[in-house]
Structure 1
Amino acid sequence: MRHSALGLLAATAALAIAASTAHAADLPSRYSPAPAYNALPIFTWTGFYAGLNAGYGWNVGDSRYYDPAFGTVRGSRGGGFVGGAQAGYNYQFGMFVAGVETDLQYAAVGNKGASYGTTYYDGDSDGFFGTIRARAGVAFDRAFIYGTGGFAYGDIGGNRGYDPVLGHHTGDETNWGWTLGGGVEYALTNNFTAKVEGLYVDLDTKDNYVLGGRVNVNRDAEFGVIRAGLNYKFN
C-alpha cells in the first residue's frame, strides 16, 4: 500500500511539471525585438544634369600679318568674362565615372585682331564658343575629380580688321577646333553639384585677306578658361 501511494505521488508530480512547462511555452516572449536599421541612401553620379557657369578667359595665341608699309603687325592679347550653360550625362561604375557634356558660352576673351592702326581696325572682343566633350575620372563619394576633352567651335570676335593695302577681312564665321581640361565637382546635396573647371581651347581660325596666303597671315585663336558652375542632377 505504501509503494502504491509513493507511485501515485510521483506520477502526479510529473504531470504537474509537464503542465507547467507547456503553459510557460505558451506565454509571450520577454526578449526585445531585433533593432531595425534604416540604411542611408548611397549617392551616385549616374544621371542627367544641367546648369550654369561663369568665369574668366584669356588669349594665349599669336595673331599676326605682314604689312608692306609697317612690317609684321601682331594682334593684341586680352581677357574678359566667360559665361554660359552646360548639360550632360554621367554613368558611375564603382569609383569610376564617365560621361559626356556640351556647353555654349559667351566669351569676351580680348581682341585678337592683327591690324595696324586704331581699335576701329582691330575689331572687337565679343564672341562665343561651345564644346562637346567626354569626361572621365574618379569619385570619392560626393567628390569627383575628372579630365575632359573633345571638340570646340565658335568665333571669339577678334579675327577681323582692315588694312589699307591688303583690304578688309572678317572672321564672322564659326570655326572648329579642340579643347582639353579638367576639374573638380562636389555634390552639395543629392541634386545640386558645384564645380571648378579649367579648359584650353584652340580654334582653327581662318582669314579672307586677298593676299593672305602670300604674306604670312596667321589667325591663331587660342585661349584659356577658368570657370565655376552649378548643376542640377535629375534623379
Structure 2
Amino acid sequence: MKKILLSSVALLGLATGAMAADLPSRRAAPAPIIAAAPIFTWTGFYVGVNAGYGWSEDDNDAIDLADDDNDGGFIGGAQVGYNHQIGSFVVGLEGDIQYADFGREGVFNFTDENGNILEGELESSDWFGTVRARAGVAFGQALIYATGGFAFADDATGWTVGGGLEYAFTNNLSAKIEGLYVSLDADNDDGFDFDNDVDFGVVRAGLNFRFGTY
C-alpha cells in the first residue's frame, strides 16, 4: 500500500511539472537594443564656396589720377580644407582662391623732379589666394576660430590673419562668416617713387560640404 501511495505522488509531481512547463512565462520581455546616437565631430575634409565684400588700403594714394572710386567691391571664390577635433579644440588647414572686383586702376601722366614726363597705367590683381592654419573651440555644432597664414596674388606675396564663426546645420552642411586682413608685398615699379604694397580687408560668408562627419 505504501509503495502504491509513493508511486501515485511521484506520478502527480511529474504531471504537475509538465503542465507548468506548458504555461506562458511571467518574466518580462527583454528591452529592445537601441543604438547610441553618434557624437558630432568637426574632424574631416570639406569643400565649399564663399562670397562677400573687400576693401583696399592701397599705398598708391599719391597718384591723384588713379581711380580712387574702385577701392572696394565684391569678392567670391572657393575653399578646401581639413579639420581635426581633439576634445573641444579644433585645428585645421584651409586654402582658398578668390575673385576680387576691387583695387586701383587708371592711367597717370605727370612730371618727375627732373622734368621727365612719366606715363603709365596702374593695374591691380583681380584675384588672390590664401593658405591658412585654423584653430578654435567647438561648442557642439558651433565653432569659433582664429586663422592666419600665407597670402598671394600675381607677383605679390604676403600674409593674412583673421577669424570667424562656423555652424553645422546638418551632419554634412555648415555655414560660416569670416573676416580677414591681407597684406601683400609686390615688386616696386622701376622709375617711380612709390611702392606696390597693398593691404585690404575681407568680410565673407561661406557654405561648406563636410565629408565623413561621423
- Which category of TM-score, normalised to the shorter sequence, fits these structures? 0.7 to 0.9
Q: TM-score, normalised by structure 1?
A: 0.72
User: Structure 1 residue 29 and structure 2 residue 25: aligned?
Assistant: yes
TM-score, structure 2 normalization = 0.78
What is the CA deviation profile of residues 64-107 of structure 1, one whole-angstrom value per residue up to 9, with x for unaligned ones? 45x8xx9xx99837200000110011111211111100000011
Unaligned stretches of 5+ residues in structure 1: 155-172
Name the counterpart of 2:188: 207
- 2:66, 2:104 within 8 Å by CA — same for their partners in 1? no
Show the counterpart of 2:167: 186
Could you tell me which runs of 5 or more consecutive residues in structure 2 were left unpaired when the two chains were aligned. 111-118
- Could you say which residue in structure 1 is the equivalent of 2:85? 92
Amino acid at match of 1:204: D
Write the letter of the residue equivalent to 2:148.
Answer: G
The aligned counterpart of 1:146 is 145
Question: What is the percentage of aligned positions where both structures have the same residue?
Answer: 53
Q: Distance in 2 between matches of 1:59 and 1:38?
A: 54
How many Å separate the matches in 1 of 2:98 and 2:159? Answer: 15
SS in structure 1 of the partner of residue 152 of structure 2: strand
Q: Distance in 1 between matches of 2:132 and 2:8?
A: 90
Aligned positions, number: 202
Task: Please provide the CA RMSD for this pair.
Answer: 3.3
- Match in the other structure for 1:229: 206
Alignment CA distance shift 1:122-1:79 (3 Å): farther
Task: Please tell me whether the aligned partners of residues 196 and 229 of structure 1 are also in contact (alpha carbons under 8 angstroms).
Answer: yes
Name the CA distance, whole Å, in 1 between partners of 2:98 and 2:11: 92
Change (3 A) 1:179 1:110: same
Tell me the SS of whatever aligns to 2:16.
Answer: helix
| Structure 1 contact 57–107 (Cα < 8 Å) conserved | yes
Is residue 66–residue 122 contact of structure 2 (8 Å, CA) maintained in 1? no
Q: Within the alignment, does 1:39 sit opposite 2:36 as a pair?
A: yes
The equivalent of 1:170 in structure 2 is none
1:1-235 matched pairs, under 5 angstroms? 16=12, 20=16, 24=20, 27-30=23-26, 31-65=28-62, 76=68, 78-111=71-104, 115=108, 123-124=122-123, 127-154=126-153, 173-212=154-193, 217-235=194-212
Change (3 A) 1:220 1:114: farther
